[in-house]
Amino acid sequence: YELGDGVEEDMKKAVYLCQGIVDGDSYAQMSLGLMYEDGRVIPRDFARAMVLYQQSAAQNHEPAIRILENLKTYTLPLPTPKG
């Protein structure tokens, strides 16, 4: 739904699906983090985005690792995830 690949693009459905599977799914964690960072469909929340990127990267999800590396280069220190 996020990219409209094979289905009509629907960001609200994409958010719903990502929130439903975010526990333990590295791709969903990164995708939902991007949505929080972007703030178009759900309210922008950089802290929540960073936690989701960190959770995804902790599972060796390469795109999330690259996002964090880029953010560390260009931003302030990242928050420490809780729990």
State residue 41's pLDDT score: 77
State residue 73's pLDDT score: 78
Task: Assign 1 a pLDDT band (cuts: 50, 70, 90).
Answer: very low
| Residues 27-61: b if buried by 16+ CB within 10 A, e if exposed | ebbbbbbbbbbeeeebeeeeebbbbbbbbbbeeeb
Cα–Cα distance for residue pair 61/5, rounded to 1 Å: 21
pLDDT, tens only, 25-79: 888 889 888 888 988 778 899 999 999 999 999 999 999 999 999 888 776 565 6
